[in-house]
Structure 1
């Protein structure tokens, strides 16, 4: 059933019938009622909005993509807050959101290619380079949330990871700690475990590299042998964070302070330390990075480097809606939030 069939049956032009569905205010009431009654009789529900939007060159929707499972958007505390910023701006502009995700590369490629959107916001937490390559092929505007991608040829929104990590390290060093450990976000895809400092400069994710660099630059100022600091690469979630704690605390000289590259890792670390009978911060201090709401409510409340997470999401949507073809790189500041998970080392 087509609009032309409805117009013919109702005795009006196709243009008038089209106005009934798209601009009803310009059609006389009796004509509107006749056309709508005819449409109901014929089982016609209206023009396909996809076709109208595609003809206009816009679909008024933003794609939010990740190589993580779809559950990432709902389970990860950082992603949830970013999404709150994204939805705030989308609501203000009447724009829709399409979540794009897949567990395997083939499905991800199909989802990126078939998504009916005007542009993409990329969560490059894992599989970042592949995600960027697939999105480039769509030739639509896109912006990477810089969870590891540092390509100057693409638009990106992130924070000053180096400065934030330096501030975190200075806080712990000034408390008097001498023995440190690092629970890192991914340096490479699909791996976890201890990683020597010598491998860090080769990591594909720049955020992880920058945070280690920031920690170690400041610790060197305090006379710490950074080559001896153990680094455990997690996959950014609870299970490998807990494994990392088991590794760090089994060392001959376990750390009295642990840098966690995300609050999600830090919260899991605190829980695992407590399961092992250790007190936070009396025995071990834990430092997070993100500033997610959950950090304020864990026990003890988490000391962290707070990102303007919702603002990252808001800026990402604006970058798509206001795209002019130019590459835009936005770096936002972070703030040290001192709570109760850090203290001087035990005597």
Structure 2
């Protein structure tokens, strides 16, 4: 049988002091005389007492001074995804400035995600609403703690959210390329739902389950339509925001009778994978094909060629999310940040000749 745990009351008895004095020695040592503190600590050492359980103090205070950052993606997402890394840098800066801790909450399956959300010892949640965002919102709402959704696109006004206008950003991306004279386009899309990857129709893309994807599709085709480009002639390939599906998408669109001169990539990560594929096959960017991303991750500035993109203030969004949680006063706030077209070397007018 295991030995019963030593309690603070045992230490107080062994040191010949009151429970309150023993508690002060650990929690408010400045108000306890040095010789009394020494006697209490010697008794604690003899009894192998490690100190008061911080959980009791936290429960009494009603605060743990920590923020949960949650996603339905595996834990590696926070470190491997360039968008997540920049947002996390903003979250970390804001937490450092206030002395708050960070608890990363993620899972490889729904059951584990639910348990991790329910058991996290935090004051509130910042939710990365990428795929399965509605489930994350449902789980965090059940905790009855403050939470804010990032990369939102939710119409529910009861959800505190911080994000950008995806429609306006995508429209800006497509308008940049049509303004350069491009007429043959392809879209490398983010996921529509959790059903797989592959070629998709405009109707399927327009009705995507994931709101961010749906909004960016709408913005792209608003600009293309304004330029007189028929939606039925624009191939769309649903990727999983990774190298394998991006490369499969490029194999598909460049096997078509009229390959694109311009690619709309729904994330910088997809765009950077596309640059690797094009370079490996000797397809000049932007000489033969232009490509524009979406996010503004640091890697895009140093790619070959540097990536033209729609930049969103990712670090600032992370900082604001922390402020929303730590300063929560019961008010639901929804903030939309502006995006910016950053023109670099991956876009140019189409090659001379029929387009």
TM-score tier after normalising by the smaller chain length: over 0.9
Aligned partner (choices 189, 193, 197) of residue 194 of structure 2: 189
Structure 1's unaligned 5+ residue stretches are none
Per-residue deviation, 1:139: 1.3
Aligned partner (choices 207, 213, 222) of residue 218 of structure 2: 213
1:62 to 2:64 alignment: no
Return closer, same or farther for 1:182/1:147 CA change in 2, 3 Å cut-off. Answer: farther
Residue pairs, 1:1-347, within 5 angstroms:
1-347=6-352
Work out the number of aligned pairs and report it.
Answer: 347
Matches of 2:266 and 2:248 in 1, distance apart?
Answer: 15
Matches of 2:278 and 2:7 in 1, distance apart?
Answer: 66
Per-residue deviation, 1:150: 4.1
**Deviation sequence 1:215-259 (CA, Å, 0-9, x none):** 111122211112321111111222211111111111111110001
* Structure 1, 200-209 or 44-53: larger mean CA deviation: 200-209
Per-residue deviation, 1:149: 4.0
Cα-Cα RMSD = 1.2
> Does the Cα contact within 8 Å between 1:148 and 1:208 map onto a contact in 2?
no
Return closer, same or farther for 1:105/1:146 CA change in 2, 3 Å cut-off. Answer: same
Per-residue deviation, 1:202: 2.1
Matches of 2:303 and 2:113 in 1, distance apart?
Answer: 35
**Deviation sequence 1:305-333 (CA, Å, 0-9, x none):** 11101011101111111112222111001
> Does the Cα contact within 8 Å between 1:150 and 1:206 map onto a contact in 2?
no
> Does the Cα contact within 8 Å between 2:65 and 2:100 map onto a contact in 1?
yes
Matches of 2:174 and 2:275 in 1, distance apart?
Answer: 18
Matches of 2:129 and 2:186 in 1, distance apart?
Answer: 25
